[in-house]
Amino acid sequence: MNLGEVNTLRVLRFTSVGAYLGDAEDNDVLFPNKYLTEDLDIDSEVDVYLYRDSEDRLVATTERPLIDLYGFAYLQTKAVNYFGAFMDWGLEKDLMVPFKEQKLKFEEGRYYLVTLQLDEATDRLFASAKVNRFLQECTEDFDPKKEVNLLICEQTELGVKVIVENKYSGLIFNNDISRPVTPGQRTTGFVAKVRQDGKLDVRLDPTSYAKVSGSAEKILEILKTKKFIALTDKSHPDDIREALGMSKKTFKQAIGNLYRERIIRLEKDGIYLNEKN
């Protein structure tokens, strides 16, 4: 039986407090009455999540936690005492973050980025806010056209930190933030570069010519209607994102393509559609 994971187990017997489920190695675990359904019989198979209850007993549940084993998530602090902080992770018993696993002292009601880990010595689940210790150095290559899963983390002076594919540390530079993102949000993006330190440069949008071409078409459609866009390569990235929904870098590449094709002209006050178009 795998603690902190979903297991497919077989109903062995029913008791006054619930059913006992077993695996192929003759291990068993209590499946409390409140999770039983009328269709369960002896030898029925059921998918259950295994964790320890408030009395440290192994227990099965049909509920699913808000964080996967060895995964990362922003969880809310429900309580803090002399043992540590206790987080709401979607199950009946709260998830503890010991004081030694906190970067800063946790405060009740606030959300913090944590990782779910298994202490193999004690066979107990715990959470840690020292997430960098559990992130891997990237040694693989990424196709810049293939989407990757991202967890949005905190803002820095350079950009927004992200966790890529649940295991790598990445950064989206400010110029490449083409849409609003918030800590705890899960979205997709693209790996632009694997740095020598094993961390990743990430973009929210693909860097292929097709993306730039699509952005150029969007600008051209607006110009065909309005004849003018009050943006230049000196415009603030936030103004560009608000008006066009693209990063400043993509914007500059797109207008560069349109300018080279003599479709637009660039003036001090903005972009104009050439008369012949």
- For domain 6-61, the CATH class is mainly beta
Boundaries of every domain in the chain = 6-61, 72-133, 148-203, 209-273
pTM over 0.85: no
142 Rama class: left (phi>0) / alpha (psi -120 to 50) / beta:
beta
Reduced to 3 states, what is the DSSP secondary structure of residue 244?
Answer: helix
How far is 172 from 185, CA to CA, in rounded Å? 14
pLDDT at residue 142, rounded to an integer:
87
Would you say domain 72-133 falls under CATH 2.40.50.140?
yes
Fold agreement (148-203, 209-273) = no
Instruction: Please write the tens of the pLDDT for every residue from 132-161.
Output: 999 999 998 888 888 999 999 999 999 999
Q: How do the pLDDT tens digits run along the chain, 277 residues long?
A: 999 999 999 999 999 999 999 999 999 999 999 999 999 999 999 999 999 988 889 999 999 999 999 999 999 999 999 889 999 999 999 999 999 999 989 999 999 999 999 999 999 999 999 999 999 999 988 888 889 999 999 999 999 999 999 999 999 998 888 788 999 999 999 998 899 899 999 998 875 444 556 788 889 889 888 889 999 989 999 999 999 988 888 899 889 888 887 888 999 999 998 876 4
pLDDT at residue 55, rounded to an integer:
85
Question: Helix H segments across the chain?
Answer: 209-226, 237-244, 248-260
Cβ atoms of residues 126 and 119 within 8 Å:
yes
How far is 71 from 90, CA to CA, in rounded Å? 15
How far is 198 from 193, CA to CA, in rounded Å? 10
Residue 8 CB burial class (10 angstroms; 0-12, 13-18, ≥19)? exposed
pLDDT at residue 74, rounded to an integer:
98
Unique residue bearing structure tokens 């290559």: 141
> The tokens of 3 are what?
């603690």
Topology (CATH level 3) of domain 209-273: Arc Repressor Mutant, subunit A (1.10.10)
Topology (CATH level 3) of domain 148-203: OB fold (Dihydrolipoamide Acetyltransferase, E2P) (2.40.50)
Cβ atoms of residues 170 and 229 within 8 Å:
no
